């Protein structure tokens, strides 16, 4: 694959993944009732945990958008994937089944996985590296 194509695909998937993660944190950032009902009432997480995860997702999303930062970016990808895995697992654990909404959440993994893969390809090809 050509370096230019790798770079373009990296940015497309990274922007999409970051946007999805920021979008998913919006309700928790503004403390809306829907987020509180879902995260606290249905899933059973403490109320103080709601803004913490929202800020972590926003920070992680910003970090994956910043060129360079190899080590911290690796941590950001891991944190964002842990958040997605925890959301899917929590939904399944509470309901006892895989419902259509939880299955749809698995789609969110795709741009994240592709972003990570193309980021690694960029590193291996030495494309756009900043130290």
Please check whether residue 130 lies inside any domain of the structure.
no
Q: Which two tokens stand for residue 43?
A: 């899933």
Please give the share of the chain, as a percent, with pLDDT higher than 70: 97
pLDDT at 90 over 60: yes
Query: Model-level pTM greater than 0.95?
Result: no
For the segment 53-71, the average pLDDT, to the nearest whole number, is 95
Please compute Rg for the chain using Cα positions.
16
Give residue 56's domain range: 3-125
Distances (CA, A) of 2 to 5, 91, 105, 127, 129: 5, 40, 31, 11, 16
Higher pLDDT, 99 or 13: 13
List, in order, residues 6 or more apart from 86 with CB less than 8 Å away: none
Count of domains for the chain? 1
Residue 131: per-residue pLDDT: 39
Q: How do residues 24-56 score in pLDDT, each as one tens digit?
A: 999 888 878 888 888 888 888 999 988 999 999
Please check whether residue 26 lies inside any domain of the structure.
yes
Please check whether residue 32 lies inside any domain of the structure.
yes
Please check whether residue 8 lies inside any domain of the structure.
yes
Please check whether residue 131 lies inside any domain of the structure.
no
């Amino acid at each position: 694959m050509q370096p230019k194509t790798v770079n373009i695909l990296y940015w497309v998937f990274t922007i999409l993944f970051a946007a999805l993660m920021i979008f998913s944190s919006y309700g928790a950032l503004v403390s809306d009732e829907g987020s509180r009902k879902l995260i606290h009432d249905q899933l059973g997480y403490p109320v103080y945990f709601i803004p913490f995860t929202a800020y972590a997702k926003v920070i992680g999303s910003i970090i994956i958008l910043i060129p360079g930062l190899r080590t911290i970016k690796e941590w950001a990808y891991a944190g964002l994937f842990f958040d997605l895995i925890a959301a899917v697992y929590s939904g399944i654990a509470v309901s006892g089944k895989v419902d259509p909404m939880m299955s749809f959440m698995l789609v969110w993994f795709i741009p994240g996985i592709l972003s990570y893969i193309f980021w690694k390809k960029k590193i291996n090809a030495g494309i756009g590296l900043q130290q």
